[in-house]
Structure 1
Amino acid sequence: MPPRINIPPVTRISLIVLLLQSALSAAIRYRQWTANSEIVIPYLNLVPQLSVVYPWTFLSTTLVESNVFTLSIACFTLYHGGRYLERAWSGREFAKFLLVGSLVPNVLTFGTTIFFFALTRNEGWTLMTIAGTIPLQISFLVAFSQLVPAHTVTLFRGILSLRVPRFPLLYIGLVTLLTLTPMLTVASWFLAVYGFIVSWTYLRFYKPVFPDLDASQPSHLRGDASETFAFAEFFPGPIRPFVAGISDQVFNVLVAMRLCSPFSAADISAARGDHHHHNFSQRGVPGSARAEAERRRALALKALDQRLHAATAHAAARAQNAPPPPAVVPPIPSATGPTVQSQPQSSAQKTMTVQSGGEMLGETSYNPDGEDRHGA
């Protein structure tokens, strides 16, 4: 009997809606397709000039993809990212994050197209389709940057090694390149930029935080005051001070307008957490205990792998150096099971052996103090 795939409820509902709406969009496009016209679906996708009478499109347009390639990427992102975040935050908080990360960027992009139409009087701005999971994809990258900021992802067999907080800007750069081609419109670039800013703002200042059992922090804590999640941390080192100066000025303006509240000393202390062990900053956000447990589990598996290799090599050396048994004495079958050499490797040992000896396309590692090796 095949194993049952366990998908949390909010992630499962989002995947079903994505597949149904994308299939409906494809069917409508197929029935109305002509060689000389561009098909728009104003009651499913957000089109500034046509979708005002369909207000639900400000939310539904996020879970609509127009081709198989982008649909595959969206399903992969929502399946893996949604499962991780929903289990780390709870279904209710994950649903709120999806709502903020999709609705607000769509509204901001809608307003941007109207603004450029008012400046240029070019009707193409208001007929531009605003759709796709781009704001959710970059929101997931920002959320991972908050939960596992010290993890490093190695790509292309060790050629490129980047920390998780570098991926949001790389994603924006990729979207920027694709907007120069017919694959994406400029609306996709606005969605990526607004999705990055909105998701970081929500996680930084507004998202409720579940208190960690291993850290003393108030139960009413909101946002993330840790230095590792500052806005400048997403940028490369040379321009980080410049970005930090600008972001501080913007923050001061928002505080003066009472749109944001400055962090208190208790918030900062809770975000720093326990920094006396292993030089690891225990951040006061949901998932910090999970990240620490994963780090300890990886270290334990590595130590177990080393011990198993040492025991196997020692037993093999003893077997080679042992004198042969007398010919007149027949061998007695062992009643204690196979020897160390013939025992099958455990699944954990096989996994660690492949990771340490084989070549992999991509892997992750935990490196809280080191810097990125190439261009990070």
Structure 2
Amino acid sequence: MGVKAVLGDLQIVVERHSDVLRNNALPFRFLVVLRIIGYIISYLHFARLLLWLHPYQIASIELWRIATSTFCGHNVLDVLWTVWCLHFGTNLVRLNNTNESLLKLYAITQGVTTFVIVVFAYLTYILFDSIKFFYIEPLVGMTPICASVMVLMKQFLPDTIVLATPLGRIKYAHLPFLAIFVSFILALTKFTYFVSFLQITIGVQVSWTYLRFYKPHETDEIYGDGSEHFTWASLFPSRTQLFFTLIGKVCFRTLARMGVCKRQVRHVDLHSLQSGSVGINLPALENSAKDSERRRQKALKELNDRLNKTRTAEVASYGNWDDGDDDEPTEVTVVAPPPVSNVHSSKPAMDKESMA
């Protein structure tokens, strides 16, 4: 009885505090603490041998390194950036996301990026006999997660200014490309591993792909974010977006033909919309209907003007039939019937006099 009572009380506590654990920043603070601990122990030689990940170690089925290497690495710039992203960046994007969706995105970005880089390192070793990525540079740190935070901030606040500089204003929309550019400069100057640049670049692409096409919505069965400010070309500077738009279209069409991607086709039942039983707001259909109605009213107005001018000309040519009357020409107005959604053609009935 005592054990059952304790378990029952524990379940009540978990149910009461589930919303608190779900809506606060505790999981992300826990990740920050693990990253700081991993930074400290990465200076120990045996910890690097046991916890770090090199692509060649996947072949020996040392799979625990995939998880442990995420929190390791002794680059102080990487640690500071990770703390900033998991604290400030995550608290900002949590206003538009739940903890579950953020943790899912972070796990997908970190895992897929690691897998892609392992495959890339193996191919460079096989094809070009290069051991740099396969044996030397380790896959450590949470830079793919930081890249996904940059993409989330761009999605949430694309036009908000982060910093004003003499060269221009930096917005949240510029953060993904800025992270890629800065990491490339740091890799060239040997402040970071070159594999860190690959982690950020691939992490930006993976997180954008998931948010654009695969992230489920909570209220309906729509997936992804199809807004104009979140296109692939918008990840790059505005002056180069036209060029990257063409590249994106070519890549998407190629992947669609290969069956990797599918075009989104949405079917709308107009009969259910017209019946009034279903209330759906479709801006595209509403704009099209408004344009059609505006053109219709304009055409009716022009027809009324023409008929009035014709009637006035006829009265002026024949003169006044009755001098005592001061009748003015009768204005002819064409009244348009109300728009009908479904037009059913029926054969008019003939009366008996027309039949005779």
Q: Which bracket does the TM-score occupy, shorter chain normalised? A: 0.5 to 0.7
**Residue 23 of structure 1: SS of its match in structure 2?**
helix
CA separation of 1:81 and 1:106: change in aligned 2, threshold 3 A: same
Q: Structure 1 residue aligned with 2:149, among 140, 150, 160?
A: 140
Matched, 1:44 2:51: yes
State the shift of 1:115 in Å.
Answer: 1.1
In structure 2, the residue matched to 1:130 is: 139
In structure 2, the residue matched to 1:121 is: 129
CA separation of 1:253 and 1:224: change in aligned 2, threshold 3 A: same
| 1:253 counterpart letter in structure 2 | T
Contact 1:208–1:220 (Cα < 8 Å) also in 2: yes
In the alignment, the residues of structure 1 paired with residue 154 and residue 110 of structure 2 have an alpha-carbon distance, to the nearest angstrom, of: 18
In the alignment, the residues of structure 2 paired with residue 168 and residue 271 of structure 1 have an alpha-carbon distance, to the nearest angstrom, of: 32
In structure 2, the residue matched to 1:229 is: 230
Matched, 1:65 2:67: no
In the alignment, the residues of structure 2 paired with residue 108 and residue 193 of structure 1 have an alpha-carbon distance, to the nearest angstrom, of: 11
Contact 2:109–2:145 (Cα < 8 Å) also in 1: yes
In the alignment, the residues of structure 2 paired with residue 229 and residue 83 of structure 1 have an alpha-carbon distance, to the nearest angstrom, of: 21
In the alignment, the residues of structure 2 paired with residue 86 and residue 45 of structure 1 have an alpha-carbon distance, to the nearest angstrom, of: 30
Which structure dedicates a bigger proportion of its chain to helix?
2
In structure 2, the residue matched to 1:13 is: 30
Contact 1:44–1:57 (Cα < 8 Å) also in 2: yes
| 1:146 counterpart letter in structure 2 | Q
State the shift of 1:77 in Å.
Answer: 1.6
Contact 1:205–1:260 (Cα < 8 Å) also in 2: no
| 1:136 counterpart letter in structure 2 | I
Q: Structure 1 residue aligned with 2:178, among 149, 170, 174?
A: 170
Matched, 1:204 2:221: no
| 1:259 counterpart letter in structure 2 | V
**Residue 49 of structure 1: SS of its match in structure 2?**
helix
State the shift of 1:118 in Å.
Answer: 1.1
State the shift of 1:135 in Å.
Answer: 1.3
Max radius of gyration: which structure? Answer: 2
Contact 1:42–1:50 (Cα < 8 Å) also in 2: no
In the alignment, the residues of structure 2 paired with residue 240 and residue 142 of structure 1 have an alpha-carbon distance, to the nearest angstrom, of: 17
State the shift of 1:61 in Å.
Answer: 2.0
Aligned CA-pair RMSD: 2.8
In the alignment, the residues of structure 2 paired with residue 272 and residue 203 of structure 1 have an alpha-carbon distance, to the nearest angstrom, of: 23
**Residue 248 of structure 1: SS of its match in structure 2?**
helix
In structure 1, the residue matched to 2:4 is: none
| 1:152 counterpart letter in structure 2 | I
TM-score (norm 2): 0.64
CA separation of 1:97 and 1:75: change in aligned 2, threshold 3 A: same
> Which runs of no fewer than 5 residues in structure 1 stay unpaired?
1-5, 33-39, 212-218, 277-376
**Residue 149 of structure 1: SS of its match in structure 2?**
coil
State the shift of 1:150 in Å.
Answer: 2.1
Provide, for residues 279-310 of structure 1, a one-character-per-residue CA deviation record: whole Å limited to 9, x for no partner. xxxxxxxxxxxxxxxxxxxxxxxxxxxxxxxx
State the shift of 1:51 in Å.
Answer: 4.5
Percent identity, please.
Answer: 22
| 1:131 counterpart letter in structure 2 | V
TM-score (norm 1): 0.60
State the shift of 1:87 in Å.
Answer: 4.5
State the shift of 1:117 in Å.
Answer: 1.0
Q: Structure 1 residue aligned with 2:105, among 90, 97, 104?
A: 97
In the alignment, the residues of structure 1 paired with residue 282 and residue 103 of structure 2 have an alpha-carbon distance, to the nearest angstrom, of: 24
State the shift of 1:235 in Å.
Answer: 1.9
| 1:229 counterpart letter in structure 2 | F
| 1:196 counterpart letter in structure 2 | V
CA separation of 1:42 and 1:249: change in aligned 2, threshold 3 A: farther
In the alignment, the residues of structure 2 paired with residue 175 and residue 94 of structure 1 have an alpha-carbon distance, to the nearest angstrom, of: 23
State the shift of 1:188 in Å.
Answer: 1.1
| 2:78 counterpart letter in structure 1 | T
In the alignment, the residues of structure 2 paired with residue 164 and residue 107 of structure 1 have an alpha-carbon distance, to the nearest angstrom, of: 28
In the alignment, the residues of structure 2 paired with residue 221 and residue 102 of structure 1 have an alpha-carbon distance, to the nearest angstrom, of: 25
> Which runs of no fewer than 5 residues in structure 2 stay unpaired?
1-22, 269-279, 288-356
**Count of residues paired in the alignment:** 251
Determine which structure has greater relative contact order: mean sequence separation of CA pairs < 8 Å that are 6+ residues apart, divided by chain length.
1
In the alignment, the residues of structure 2 paired with residue 178 and residue 51 of structure 1 have an alpha-carbon distance, to the nearest angstrom, of: 27
Contact 2:78–2:143 (Cα < 8 Å) also in 1: no
Contact 2:29–2:86 (Cα < 8 Å) also in 1: no
Contact 1:206–1:223 (Cα < 8 Å) also in 2: yes
In the alignment, the residues of structure 1 paired with residue 185 and residue 73 of structure 2 have an alpha-carbon distance, to the nearest angstrom, of: 19
| 2:35 counterpart letter in structure 1 | L
Matched, 1:155 2:159: no
CA separation of 1:43 and 1:258: change in aligned 2, threshold 3 A: farther
| 2:119 counterpart letter in structure 1 | G
Provide, for residues 158-190 of structure 1, a one-character-per-residue CA deviation record: whole Å limited to 9, x for no partner. 653023221211111111111112221221111
> Counterparts of 1:66-85 in structure 2 under 5 Å?
66-85=74-93
State the shift of 1:265 in Å.
Answer: 4.6
| 2:213 counterpart letter in structure 1 | F
In structure 1, the residue matched to 2:10 is: none
Q: Structure 2 residue aligned with 1:25, among 28, 42, 45?
A: 42
In the alignment, the residues of structure 2 paired with residue 253 and residue 130 of structure 1 have an alpha-carbon distance, to the nearest angstrom, of: 31
In the alignment, the residues of structure 2 paired with residue 140 and residue 193 of structure 1 have an alpha-carbon distance, to the nearest angstrom, of: 13
